[in-house]
Structure formats: C-alpha cells, structure tokens
Chain A
C-alpha cells in the first residue's frame, strides 16, 4: 500500500487546513464585498422628510432608491394601483380630459397659467424652464386693516418630462413607473415642500442615500 512520506503528509495537512480556513474567510469576504458605500453617483434616491414642530416633535425620514421603487411598484396591486399605474375613476376626473389638458400645457410657451389672489390663499400655476410649478400660500385672515400672515406654503416643482411620463399611459391612468424613470434621468431636484405652523414636508431627489 502506498504511504506518503512525512513531508508530503505535512504539506497535505497544511493545504487542507488552509483550504478549510479559507472557506469561512471567503464567506466573510463575500459578505463584506456587499458593503461598499452605496451612494453610487448614477443611483437616484427619493427622499421624503416630515418634521412636526408640535409637542410630540415627530419626524419621519424615508429614503428610497428610485430604481428600487421602479421594481417594487409594478408588484403592488391594491385598490387603484395596478402594474405601476394608478387608475383614475370618472368621479375623480370630474369630466376633465387630463391628456388633452397636458398636451395644451406641454405645447404652450413658458408662462403663468393660473394666478389667484384671495384673502385666504394665493395660488400660482406656471411653466418655466421645463418645469411645472405650483405655489399655494394659505393665509391667516387678517384683522381689519392688518396684514394677513402666512399660514402655510406649498411649493411643487416637477420636471415637465416627468409630468408627460406620468400621463403617458391611458386617458384615465397615471403611469408612476414611467414618471419615476423620467425622474431618475433628472439631476438633483426639489420636488415638493410644504411649510406650515406645525410641520414641514420636503420631497426631493438626489444621489445620496441619507436624508440630511
């Protein structure tokens, strides 16, 4: 029977021991290889931050990679959301043809479309440099002769390409996935902000995986 010499056996034991040790090491390396800083510049993150300034001091921070949202949304089939599209019922549309309305806005030149100045609120809807802008300022009704103070302020700034993608599905559908895709093609964007007496809401897009 063949008997290996002592140096060969030693070498074999060393190789075996090395191989055995390398298995857990390689597993650890595999686990660690998945931990680079996730903020790749091509990644787009959608951030939502809600801060309440009341006594409870509640704050909510949500950070979602746009690409992840694009993949998860089509899997949600609940109520009016199916396959990444929101179906709008006739009662919600109130007979408004959204597609025609959008087409009219898209083909129009930059400008202010709606301006309302009332005692309790100011509203402004405009198209400017490829963005759809909506500003609403709610006012505290002033005492006689006094100046009305600002109660809350809503600012919406959405790239027109995103609005177009949103309405690209059917006549009575909003294509959220297409809108997200269009959104991810944009640079850092402030999308939505609300400031009121007791809370602030901020929605924006950038390439960081942290909210602040």
Chain B
C-alpha cells in the first residue's frame, strides 16, 4: 500500500513538473471561425515550448524553402519581438474599414493578431519568447553564406 502511495506521489510529481516545463513559455492559441454556413471552426491551444521542438523534426531543406529570404526578415522579426516584450498591453497597428478589422497588439508577454472579416474571424496569440526560438531554429536551417 505504502509502495503504491509512493509511486503515485512520484508519478504526480513528474506529471506536475512535466506540465510546468511544457507550459513554461505559455501557450499558442489559434482560433479560426468561418462564419458561412458549414464553415470550419478551428481552435488550437498548444504549449508554446512544443512549437520550436516540433520544428526540429522538419527537414532543413523543407524549412529553407518555407523560409525563403529569412536572412532579410528574420533579424527584423527577432529585434521586433524582443522589443515588443518591453511594451505589454499595447496596440501597434489597427486597421478598420466597413468590412474588416485588423489589430496587432501585445497582451502581457504575448503578441496577438486579430482579423475580423464578414465571413471569417482569425485570432492568433503567440508568446513573444517563442518567436525568438522559432527564428533561431530557422536561422540554423539556412545555408551558411
């Protein structure tokens, strides 16, 4: 009985630490709602730490193709992400017309992109630290100049 209790405590502790480790960088949230009849509703909620890890399973040449011209935009994205961390709860860009509303803002340590259109709503929230990790992974996949 005692042995079982110890095993349970061990398993629970491992689970708690694994959860804390997995969620240490927060969560990535993607919501896509197509407002037409029968439209798709995609809601993804995943630990941010998993995304850079998942990128390690993408072959370098595939990543290279996906991230064409990364040498141009990656440093800009990296600096912007690092700087944005200093400005939590700020709206950087907001565009609105009679049909669409687009907003890029920070909420705490996450960057949020909201796009609302008559037939589709997209909300993406990503921890800024994750952008750093993803860009670092992309940079490693680029062939040396």
Q: Which A residues lie at the B interface, using CB under 8 A?
A: 16, 20, 23-24, 27, 31-32, 34-38, 55-65, 67-68, 71-72, 75-78, 209-211
Contact = CB atoms under 8 A, between A and B. Distances in A.
Interface string B85-112: 1111111111111110000000011000
A57 B97 contact: yes
Contacts of B88: 34-36, 38
A75 B76 contact: yes
B24 A65 contact: no
Interface in B54-85: 72, 75-76, 79-80, 83-85
B11 interface: no
B79 A62 contact: no
A105 to B, nearest CB: 34
B42 interface: no
A78 B72 contact: yes
A71 B79 CA distance: 7
Contact of B95 (A34, A59, A72, A76): A59
Nearest to B105: A63
Contacts of B13: 16, 20
B91 to A, nearest CB: 6
Contacts of B108: 31-32, 34-35
Contacts of B72: 77-78
Contact of B90 (A38, A67, A72): A38
A61 B93 contact: yes
Contacts of B87: 38, 65, 68, 209
B16 interface: yes
Nearest to A65: B87
Contacts of A36: 88
Given A34-B109, A56-B97, A58-B96, A68 B84 contact: yes
Contact of B94 (A20, A61, A75): A61
Contact of B96 (A24, A32, A59, A68): A59
B71 to A, nearest CB: 9
Given A23-B20, A27-B24, A68-B80, A63 B96 contact: no
Given A35-B108, A63-B90, A68-B83, A58 B76 contact: no
A75 B77 CA distance: 9
B83 A65 contact: yes
Contacts of B84: 68
Which 5 residue pairs of A and B lie closest in terms of their CB atoms, listed nearest first?
A58-B97, A68-B83, A61-B94, A209-B90, A75-B75
B100 to A, nearest CB: 9
A72 B92 contact: no
Contacts of A62: 92-94
A64 B24 contact: no
Contacts of A38: 86-90
Nearest to B71: A77
Contacts of A55: 98
Interface string B110-130: 000000000000000000000
Given A27-B24, A34-B108, 7 more contacts: A20-B13, A36-B88, A59-B95, A60-B93, A61-B93, A76-B76, A209-B89
A61 B94 CA distance: 5
A74 B65 CA distance: 26
